[in-house]
Amino acid sequence: MTSVSIIGCGWLGQALAQRLLASDTKLIASYQSAQSYDKLKALNIPATQLTLPLVDDVMSCKQLDNIAGVDPKLFQQNVLIIAIPPQLKKGRVDYPLKIQQLVHLAELGKTQHIILLNSTAIYNGLVGKVDEASQLNMNAEKVASLLAAEQAVKSFSKRVHILRLAGLVGPDRHPGKFLQAKRVFENASATVNLVHQTDVVNILDNLIHLDSADSKQSIYNVVSNTNSDRQGYYQLAAQALNLPIPQFAIEQEQSSGKKIIGVTLRDELAYHYWHDDLLSWLKKSAPIDLDSA
């Protein structure tokens, strides 16, 4: 029977947990704060506290039961999903260390499969079409830290999947609200790279129940095929919620930035996105008729 641990059960993890619990999958999630616990409890998601990073000598521990502050149940399930945010914008530099510690704990426990939720921010500094084989720009902010986290997961002795997620949208995370804090925005012609929460949950559900005979280690971009520039998309998104239309600065030289390509996942998992065109999703979520407005 498949069993799952979710480390970092926030907005996305909670949606996944509810899906798994609905199918009677054995599940336990981690939390850090009392506020996070209250949210999980309200959703009837079984949870136990885990604070990262752990003590400096955790990597030398050889018995899971002897590590203070660690509930062994988190690492006794078949599948370990790591969904903790890097928090690089907050100045945190310990993200790779957190991932290293989780991988070590997984090796000590009964984990057979790790799924890391990473970010397409790993492609920062690149332009044009980029895929999983693209050469990364190690001079770009965030990239070295995100890559180090992936390398830590790839050292796991059993199955590994790494999902590089595009910008997330979905319930309580409508893109029309993203740009309301500023008056004039940059990069009007840049391509949007986004994915809906439902598709990420579907893909995770597929990977959790994937036949163990399939690939041992894979990296996938997770992104919709939405064809829009930043200005068009976010202005439509604001209009969908009857919010002020964001204004974009006039560009001296247009640049489409980077376009994340997610063909590998579509081909290897034979996955068809529910919300592949997020322009259509915006129109369906609109309180007004956008086609005639």
- What does the pLDDT look like over 43-58, one tens digit per residue? 999 999 998 877 667 7
Burial class (CB in 10 A: 0-12, 13-18, 19+), 237: buried
The domain limits of the chain are 3-169+193-224+263-274
Average pLDDT of the residues of the chain: 88
For residues 31 and 240, give the distance between their C-alpha atoms in angstroms, rounded to a whole number.
34
Among 155, 133, 163, smallest CA distance to 269 is for 163
Mean pLDDT of 274-288: 82
| 134 pLDDT higher than 90 | yes
Mean pLDDT in residue range 196-214: 90
Range with lowest mean pLDDT among 12-16, 174-178, 218-222, 233-237 = 174-178
Binned at pLDDT 50, 70 and 90, residue 164 comes out as very high
Mean pLDDT value of segment 225-236: 90
Q: Which residue has the higher pLDDT, 182 or 104?
A: 104
CATH code for the structural domain at 3-169+193-224+263-274: 3.40.50.720
Kindly state the percentage of the chain with pLDDT values over 70: 90
Three-state DSSP at 286 gives coil
